[in-house]
Amino acid sequence: MDFRFTEDQQLLAEGARDFLRAELSTERLRALWASPTGRDDALWAQLAELGLTGLLVPEEHGGLGLGDIEMVSVAEACGHVALPEPLLDTAMIAAAMLRDAGNAALAAEWLPRIAEGTARIAVGHCVNPLVADAHVADLLLLPQGDAIFAVPREGVSLTANESLDPSRRLFRVDVAPGAGSLLASGDKARQLLAAALDRGALAAAAQALGVAQRLIDLSVAYTRDRKQFGQVVGSFQAVQHLMANVAVKLEYAKAPVQRAASEIARSTSRAALSASHAKLVACEAASLAARNSIQVHGAMGYTWEVDVHIFAKRAWVLESAWGDRAFHKLRVADAVLADGAAIGPGTTF
């Protein structure tokens, strides 16, 4: 199967990447850390103007009606700049849940608002003990027992929890009795949560690709300028090998991420396996990039002033978001070791 992006998909990815690089500098990112919410309403409005918030929203609700394959390239661009805004939780995970739930009233109310950029949505899931960006969410989609409820922000109380990544705002959420509307229950709710988990893992994997590439870019730029013993550091073979090892892992991680996007978009039986595979290999590449980039920068790599730490921390938190390494390894093991599992070249590829 050919997982390469079409020309239109490549143009969408390039447009998102160029915009985010131009608008979200590391200086602007650091300034947001000191703000009360850590979020930028002006940036969110710009994302909506570009149509990024409405990629998965059906056209009848004011969106572009595209799919996970288009969204995954945007997610990679988000990782490259360590975007703090909850674009993926809102536009990729929540939008798909509202679209697929079969609840016409909630879809008609919230999907147009997602598309036009007047609503941020936070999503709760059992694999994420804390809910990201609940403090700026207009609506929270929260599992309760065998159901999912759509709860407005005034219907919850929040307890902030510190994150390793200053851009991530995490909260324990307590729902007031009787707050919210039923989005789905029973089998439909379980299907929505399973799909949300796969999309969340895919979003984390795609961001990890972008993070890894940004760390390579930072390290290559640094080693071209930094001199030691009268020579640029980048001329030393040991330094070259550190970044070459990252580049190899990153390249091999791209196809599993693209495959996972294709499987999830088509709701195939292998979607969960592909999502876990993608998250494992992409986050492994990003973690290696963080470790080797810090080493390439020497003692400076650990300091707050050097940008490497911004992306290293994002790599580390992505590894735990939407299921940690142990969780996804177990999902892969369950699939490939199951009786009658379809494995081998004839089915794997």
Q: Tell me, yes or no, whether 114 lies in a domain.
A: no
| Cα–Cα nearest to 138, from 125, 150, 124 | 150
Q: Tell me, yes or no, whether 100 lies in a domain.
A: no
Q: Tell me, yes or no, whether 51 lies in a domain.
A: no
How many residues are given for the chain?
Answer: 349
| Cα–Cα nearest to 277, from 60, 61, 3 | 3
| Cα–Cα nearest to 95, from 150, 42, 45 | 150
Mean per-residue pLDDT, 22-47: 95
Q: Tell me, yes or no, whether 255 lies in a domain.
A: yes
* Per-residue pLDDT tens digits for 282-315: 999 999 999 998 888 786 777 888 899 999 999 9
Which residues 6+ apart lie within 8 Å of 93 measured at CB? 123, 196, 199, 200, 203
Q: Which domain holds residue 311?
A: 188-348
Q: With bands split at pLDDT 50, 70 and 90, how would you rate the model's confidence at 266?
A: very high
Give pLDDT, residue 185: 97
Give pLDDT, residue 104: 97
| 131 DSSP β-pair partners | 171
Whether 110 shows a pLDDT value over 80: the answer reads yes
The alpha carbon of 160 is separated from its chain's Cα centroid by a whole number of angstroms, namely: 21
What does the alpha-carbon distance between residue 108 and residue 136 come to, in Å, rounded to a whole number? 21
Q: Tell me, yes or no, whether 322 lies in a domain.
A: yes
Q: Tell me, yes or no, whether 222 lies in a domain.
A: yes
What does the alpha-carbon distance between residue 311 and residue 84 come to, in Å, rounded to a whole number? 12
Q: Which residue has the tokens 């550190």?
A: 242
Q: Tell me, yes or no, whether 275 lies in a domain.
A: yes
* Per-residue pLDDT tens digits for 151-189: 999 999 999 999 999 999 999 999 999 899 999 999 999
Q: How many domains does the chain have?
A: 1
Q: Tell me, yes or no, whether 198 lies in a domain.
A: yes
Q: pTM above 0.85?
A: yes
The CATH number linked to 295 is 1.20.140.10
